[in-house]
Structure 1
Amino acid sequence: MPSASQPGPTPGSSTGPQPGAAPLAQPSAALPASPPEPPVPPARAQGQTAPGAGSGAVQPFVYLGRQPILDRNGALNAYELLFRGGAQNRADVDDDALATAQVMTRTIGQLGVPAVLGRHYGYVNISRELLFDDIVHLLPPGRFVLEVLEHVRFDAAVLERLAQLRRAGYRIAFDDVSEITENLLRALPYADIVKVDLMQTERAALPELVASLAAHGKTLIAEKVETGEDFELASSLGFELFQGYFFARPQVLRAPRVRASRLALVRLLALVANDVGTAELERELRSHPGVVVQLLRLVNSSAYSPGRPISSLREAVLAAGTRQIARWAQLLLYASGRDLPWGSDPLVQLAGTRSHFMELAARSLNPQDPEFADAAFMTGIFSLVHVLVGSTPENTLDRLGLSREIVEAVDGHRGELGTLLRIATAAERGDHDGAQRLAREAGGMFTALTPPLLGELNLWAGAWFTAYAEG
């Protein structure tokens, strides 16, 4: 565990812009050249409602800002993650807690931690409200630094909470420091890193401020480094890390919006609160494909990965654990804002109906093999996930850690699950002759999928989704 005076060794470092060089056009250029990291498309012009702003049309993308934090040699040390309500590179934040909740859901559940951070740390702004919220534990302490906002008052309750979080392995940074105050002095023993705002600090007061903070053994970050002169001054005073427009403006990343049903999240929280078993959680998750997609992203983050491919919802639930599922549902519920109802999304409707059709078909074909039915359900959900997140099947499935059988079924229609997926796709198009022909050509157990049975399965799957979508 890193000492209180140092941020600890970074998971990876890379050569960034050299001090004094022209500002970077794209901070992503500072990412390591090898191994390559999954690309994240920069945002194009799309509007979106910011937290707390007036209602408007739901946009197809979510956005996230990241600004590099560099060491004195120009090597990339970390990124600060920033709320962005649209492609425009500005914050427009009027609710700190909601903005951070959306940063967390977009980083972990939609863009993915590896794509956003690579091998580097992420600094996340934390308000007093979120400091005391259990959902902060969704951030793996080995990947994230908790950056306490400047307006947080360090009373006894806050200091005790900071001590708890540090014992849990988190490193704490204080944001926008410009002077030594009683509030700051009281809290310094609970911080690892202090970010000094060069724009808000009087130049004549900087040497004394830096000397005082350094005497307390804190790692110092100079933020809002706007010019070469700022960088030279900060370097001469002993700052170790640097952030500002002199190096790079924040880069705006985007990902297609993945919606989660608010009703589904409420149900999940209620089930966890009632301490239900894995089977009930699994049963509830089956009715909500959007939540399953994000749960798989959570499970496959570095902190929770089971180290083996996932082939059923039960494995995903067991890997995450009920407490993490509750935290994730709470965060998604808080950050979901004014999304369109889940039942009105045609892509989610199709994924839900297809997955249940495949599960019912698998149970009909092999009633003694529940694992085959589980895998069929997962195949149905993830057969469309690449469309939902705007990528290719290969790239998307690699990030979800699914079993080889499911991957081969989705990306190539291979194996028994692949055959079942082809039959389901034909049936949902209304091509019953084509579905019957595929079943006949596959032979074996698939010959049991007669036209009457295919029609019944389609009807049951559609009725099942409608019942859940309407709550």
Structure 2
Amino acid sequence: MHDSSTAPVVTNPATDDRVYLGRQPIVDRSGALHAFELLFRSDAINRASIVDDMEATAHVLARTFVDVGIVAALGGHPGYVNVSRDLLNDDVVSLIPPDRFVLEVLEGVTFDTALFARCALLRRAGFRFALDDVTRWSDTLESILPLVDIVKVDLLFCEPDHLDDLVRKLKVHNKTLLAEKVETRADHDRAMKLGFDLFQGYYFARPQVLVSRRANSSRHALLRVLGLLSGDAEINDLESELKTSPGLVMQLLRLVNATAFGLARPIASLREAIMVLGTRQISRWAQLLLYADGRNLPIASDPLVLLAGTRARFMELAAGLLWPGDEPRLDAAFMTGVFSLVDAVFDAPMEELLGKLRLAAPIEVAIRERSGDLGLLLDAAEAAETGDTAKIERACGRLPELTPYLISHIGLAAASWFAEKTTNEWVR
């Protein structure tokens, strides 16, 4: 259900580091709390400003799972979340726990053979469906009913002459009937008399806005995922880990799609992304998301992402000259470049973070002590970033295969790589 309520609390979104989640109670015939509908909120003003339905639901899920928490948001009750056709067809929907959530199909969704098949598959997986904003009986509605468990009848826009006939026909199909937009006592009394099972609207309660500090849980989830990607983890292990962070999955998949040039069609699932691109590419973009997460900037214009990405690519290209064809060492060089800046992300001591990351010994030693081949390469990358001639010459003296000209050339190539890969960026 989309809504437009207001509240007196106002914040400055430009300086606000909090996150917001709206919820509105759904009650049963006795007036007892039955469930909550979770609503997208971008600030403390209790009003929805939705541009993209799929993006709004992704934010709701991320806020529920990561920032606010399922227990705080729902207690022991079910949660209703709006789902668009795109989300229903995306494997991201499989990250939603079917025992805790009802998928509320938006009124603008057009059902066809493909969507019928998709919803039937999701129902077999345990999902329950509610049909939103029903206002009159139709052949289309009748064809959809076998797929849904709950029908939400919009009392505000259902013409009074149609309501009795609509309810009578719906009851024949043995569906749970929910009266939404119950605004007055008269609305409530009539809905009770007609035999509605559940009720939602301003007569009971306006949506409440839950406020939480923006959590770094997605970054910690990224660290766990990167740990799995760096080992021999099974795809099922990766999927299980990612189920705890649906917002992260959506970020990762959309970023992969934005940078996976030449594919015949977009990648819709992590499993497919891993099979098509391999864990190596997935790992690299996950590493960059570690820097982009929560900074509220486009990835192409985030200075920290820019520095991490170009440094990592510089080290990979230089490693290719030093150790041609040695893919493991090239990967290690890339990771060294990325994680050499991780203390800036977490604002924590590097020693503490290295203890949690459990990086391979050559990478850890390179970052901590600037020793070993990777440590010398990291020094060269940092020298290239400063443009300091003396530092560049010292770095070349320790790595004779490199020259100041090569370092300059590699630096430009690394910057071009980052610019090309983020031309179609989307992260904001």
TM-score (norm 2): 0.58
Change (3 A) 1:151 1:95: same
**Candidates 220, 245, 248, aligned match of 1:329:** 248
Q: What is the one-letter code of the residue matched to 1:157?
A: A
| Greater C-alpha Rg | 2
**Pairing 1:428-467 to 2, within 5 Å after superposition:** 457=368
The Cα offsets for residues 249-288 of structure 1, whole Å up to 9 and x where unpaired, read as: 00001112236899x97x96xx8xxxxx936169xxxxxx
Separation (CA, whole Å) in 1 of partners of 2:359 and 2:173: 64
Provide the residue aligned with 1:348 in structure 2. Answer: 345
**Structure 1 residue 320, shift from structure 2 partner:** 5.9
Provide the residue aligned with 2:228 in structure 1. Answer: 278
Provide the residue aligned with 1:288 in structure 2. Answer: none
Runs of 5+ in structure 2 lacking a partner?
A: 1-6, 256-292, 306-341, 383-414, 419-428
Provide the residue aligned with 2:150 in structure 1. Answer: 193
Q: What is the one-letter code of the residue matched to 2:228?
A: T
Check whether the contact 2:152–2:179 (CA below 8 A) recurs between aligned residues: yes
Separation (CA, whole Å) in 1 of partners of 2:178 and 2:61: 23
Separation (CA, whole Å) in 2 of partners of 1:213 and 1:243: 18
Provide the residue aligned with 2:100 in structure 1. Answer: 143
Change (3 A) 1:81 1:43: farther
Q: What is the one-letter code of the residue matched to 1:174?
A: L
Change (3 A) 1:45 1:326: closer
**Structure 1 residue 181, shift from structure 2 partner:** 2.0
The Cα offsets for residues 344-385 of structure 1, whole Å up to 9 and x where unpaired, read as: 898733237253354599999xxxxxxxxxxxx9xxxxxxxx
**Structure 1 residue 331, shift from structure 2 partner:** 2.0
Change (3 A) 1:328 1:87: closer
**Structure 1 residue 45, shift from structure 2 partner:** 2.9
Q: What is the one-letter code of the residue matched to 2:353?
A: H
Change (3 A) 1:327 1:79: closer
SS for the counterpart of 1:351 is coil
Provide the residue aligned with 2:193 in structure 1. Answer: 236
Separation (CA, whole Å) in 2 of partners of 1:156 and 1:360: 47
**Pairing 1:377-392 to 2, within 5 Å after superposition:** none
Are 1:45 and 2:10 counterparts? Answer: yes
Aligned-pair identity in percent equals 46
Check whether the contact 1:138–1:328 (CA below 8 A) recurs between aligned residues: no
Change (3 A) 1:192 1:106: same
Check whether the contact 2:179–2:199 (CA below 8 A) recurs between aligned residues: yes
**Structure 1 residue 74, shift from structure 2 partner:** 0.8
Are 1:72 and 2:29 counterparts? Answer: yes
Provide the residue aligned with 2:335 in structure 1. Answer: none
Runs of 5+ in structure 1 lacking a partner?
A: 1-41, 49-56, 272-276, 283-313, 365-376, 378-452
SS for the counterpart of 1:200 is coil
Change (3 A) 1:62 1:90: same
Check whether the contact 1:105–1:332 (CA below 8 A) recurs between aligned residues: no
Q: What is the one-letter code of the residue matched to 2:348?
A: A
**Pairing 1:170-185 to 2, within 5 Å after superposition:** 170-185=127-142
**Structure 1 residue 79, shift from structure 2 partner:** 0.2
Check whether the contact 1:357–1:458 (CA below 8 A) recurs between aligned residues: no
Check whether the contact 2:182–2:200 (CA below 8 A) recurs between aligned residues: yes
TM-score (norm 1): 0.53
Q: What is the one-letter code of the residue matched to 1:201?
A: C
Check whether the contact 1:83–1:102 (CA below 8 A) recurs between aligned residues: yes
**Structure 1 residue 158, shift from structure 2 partner:** 1.0
**Pairing 1:369-408 to 2, within 5 Å after superposition:** none
SS for the counterpart of 2:102 is strand
**TM-align CA RMSD:** 4.1
Which has the larger helix fraction? 2
Provide the residue aligned with 2:385 in structure 1. Answer: none
**Candidates 111, 118, 121, aligned match of 2:78:** 121
Change (3 A) 1:360 1:246: closer
SS for the counterpart of 1:221 is strand
